[in-house]
């Protein structure tokens, strides 16, 4: 009986075309000599992790992934030490490190009669709540769905479940391109014209039609994902627009301003896209004004990244007078409209976009990208939240691999985990990756290859360390969670953390240790017993308790 129970606890059985597929909880590791391992999925095997369930109040759960090869390694532990003590209050300025015993506030260190000796504590205060978490996801690029279409039926099922099921990463968001991107096999919009008639504009949109990539690949993929997540939030953006809409008559961003005479037509174009997807029973949650509108000027090479160039002021005018009113007058007036959708450093142009209350009325949130995220510009996230507290901030694109694609590269996992912690600690509500699946060469694409959390070689696919880095958040911090106060007085930036309260009342603390050494940390929650942790070298640790 014990053996049979252990088998059912360890294995998940899926029936595809009369064939039983095994999803084991264990990673099938393979080392390519690039620092860590990948977990291999083939027709007959793919690792999984059971859904999170609350544990008794005298227990806590620790999940660990690390460079040494652990992947979501689970330990259930019992508290063994005393509670934190009576001096347990959080200062209102959110800076516990500057307070001492005389203040009767929670302090970070070992108290002596004369001074405070810093110690390795992580303080958590669930009563101090911050932003709500919208969710986690990836982009349904052409490259992703082309790779999925080239897999066997069994591998496809493993792939979809790896991202969207409760025993996978539990994604609830998907970014869907409106037309082609740099990770397509060709440049295309929904109203392409021949070069010699590039200035002919179809103002009626009568020839607007979805591309084969939408109908044959993206829509079927999204529908399969939605079977696992019926609350899947879709949002869209544009990279490629009809060349006739642009001053440079090109798909590229260099001098690629939108012609002012087509501002209303462009707004209609967006709505038409949502109309046609709705015919396939797919409703979107959100849309951004366009992808990377301010750095598009740099996109002038072919092949390269297509783009649409805006000045902040002109983008604000288009949103205020055209896009915003057109969406609100449509059947899609529920859509959340985001703007910027560019590098974090470019949040400084928000006041130039939102120049009046009418513009502000149409904008629900701001989207940022990962590529220029630095510790010294997190203040821009804080400033935007302070100045526009009724609007959310989302991180909508991230990818690595510009220096090469290496199977088992742990440093990329650390890069992602650090970015997520940094963003979430500064008011970001959602974090969405770029390509979910690429081939082992980083494609297909019309620009430069990049890495992805899953790489596919046709007969099997590999879960990169990136996959587990995202999962340490997405799997354990569901939509509706709230960030809570956490702090550690430790000058070592190699150890960072963020904490959340789940909708079921559970507390989640995610800790990144980028040190080459094992690191001791103590989680102190004044309403619970202390949790002593030995963080393995170069690791990501998720702690849960109720």
Active site residues: 292, 397
Q: What phi and psi, each to the nearest 5 degrees, are found at residue 224?
A: -70, -40
- How far apart (Å, rounded) are the C-alpha atoms in residues 361 and 197? 38
Burial 253-270 (b: 16+ CB within 10 A, else e): bbebbbeeebbebbbbbb
Determine contact, residues 298/306, Cβ cutoff 8 Å: no
Strand order in the sheet with 454-456: 29-31, 37-41, 461-463, 454-456, 437-439
Q: Is 83 helix (H, G, I), strand (E, B) or coil?
A: strand
- Total number of residues shown for the chain: 546
What is the residue whose two structure tokens read 């979805």?
210
List, in sequence order, every beta strand (DSSP E) within 304-440: 336-343, 365-369, 392-397, 428-435, 437-439
Strand order in the sheet with 73-78: 73-78, 59-66, 539-545, 507-513, 495-501, 482-487, 121-132, 519-525, 531-535
The dihedral through the CA atoms of 343, 347, 352, 354 has a sign that is: positive
Question: Chain-centre distance of CA 196, in angstroms?
Answer: 41
* Half-sphere exposure at residue 179, Cβ-oriented, CA atoms within 13 angstroms: 24
């Amino acid at each position: 009986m014990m053996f049979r129970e252990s088998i059912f606890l360890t294995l998940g059985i899926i029936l595809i075309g009369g064939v039983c597929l095994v999803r084991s909880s264990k990673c099938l590791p393979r080392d390519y000599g690039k620092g860590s391992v990948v977990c291999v999925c083939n027709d007959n095997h793919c690792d999984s992790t059971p859904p999170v369930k609350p544990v008794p109040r005298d227990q806590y759960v620790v999940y660990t992934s690390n460079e040494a090869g652990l992947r979501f390694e689970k330990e259930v532990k019992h508290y063994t030490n005393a509670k934190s003590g009576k001096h347990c209050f959080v200062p209102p300025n959110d800076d516990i490190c500057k307070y001492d015993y005389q203040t009767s506030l929670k302090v970070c260190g070992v108290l002596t009669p004369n001074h405070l000796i810093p110690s390795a504590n992580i303080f958590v205060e669930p009563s101090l709540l911050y932003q709500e978490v919208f969710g986690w996801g990836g982009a349904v690029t052409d490259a992703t769905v082309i790779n999925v279409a080239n897999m066997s039926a069994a591998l496809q099922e493993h792939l979809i479940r790896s991202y969207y099921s409760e025993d996978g990463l539990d994604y609830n968001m998907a970014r869907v391109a409106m037309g082609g991107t740099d990770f397509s096999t060709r440049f295309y919009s929904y109203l392409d014209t021949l070069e010699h008639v590039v200035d002919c504009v179809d103002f009626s949109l009568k020839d607007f039609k979805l591309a084969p990539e939408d109908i044959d690949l993206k829509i079927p993929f999204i529908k399969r994902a939605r079977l696992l997540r019926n609350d899947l939030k879709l949002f869209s953006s544009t990279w490629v627009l009809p060349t006739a809409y642009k001053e440079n008559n090109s798909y590229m961003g260099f001098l690629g301003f939108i012609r002012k005479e087509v501002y209303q037509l462009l707004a209609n174009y967006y709505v038409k896209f949502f109309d046609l997807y709705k015919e396939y029973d797919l409703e979107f949650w959100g849309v951004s004004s366009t992808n990377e509108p301010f750095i598009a000027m740099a996109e002038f090479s072919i092949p390269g990244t297509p783009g649409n160039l805006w000045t902040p002021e002109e983008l604000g005018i288009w949103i205020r007078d055209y896009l915003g009113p057109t969406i609100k007058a449509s059947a899609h007036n529920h859509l959340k409209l985001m703007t910027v959708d560019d590098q974090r450093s470019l949040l400084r142009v928000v006041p130039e976009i939102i120049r009046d209350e009418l513009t502000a009325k149409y904008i629900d949130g701001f989207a940022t990208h990962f590529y220029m995220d630095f510790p010294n510009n997190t203040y821009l996230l804080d400033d935007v939240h302070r100045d526009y507290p009724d609007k959310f901030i989302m991180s909508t694109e991230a990818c690595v691999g510009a220096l090469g694609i290496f199977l088992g590269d742990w440093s990329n996992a650390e890069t992602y985990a650090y970015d997520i912690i940094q963003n979430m600690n500064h008011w970001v509500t959602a974090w969405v990756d770029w390509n979910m699946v690429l081939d082992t060469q980083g494609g297909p694409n019309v620009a430069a290859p990049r890495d992805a959390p899953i790489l596919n070689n046709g007969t099997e696919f590999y879960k990169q360390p990136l996959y587990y880095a995202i999962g340490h958040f997405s799997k354990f911090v569901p939509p509706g969670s709230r960030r809570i106060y956490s702090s550690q007085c430790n000058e070592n930036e190699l150890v960072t953390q963020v904490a959340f309260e789940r909708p079921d009342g559970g507390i989640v603390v995610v800790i990144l240790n980028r040190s080459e050494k094992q690191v001791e940390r103590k989680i102190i929650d004044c309403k619970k017993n202390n949790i002593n942790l030995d963080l393995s070298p170069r690791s990501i640790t998720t702690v849960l308790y109720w």
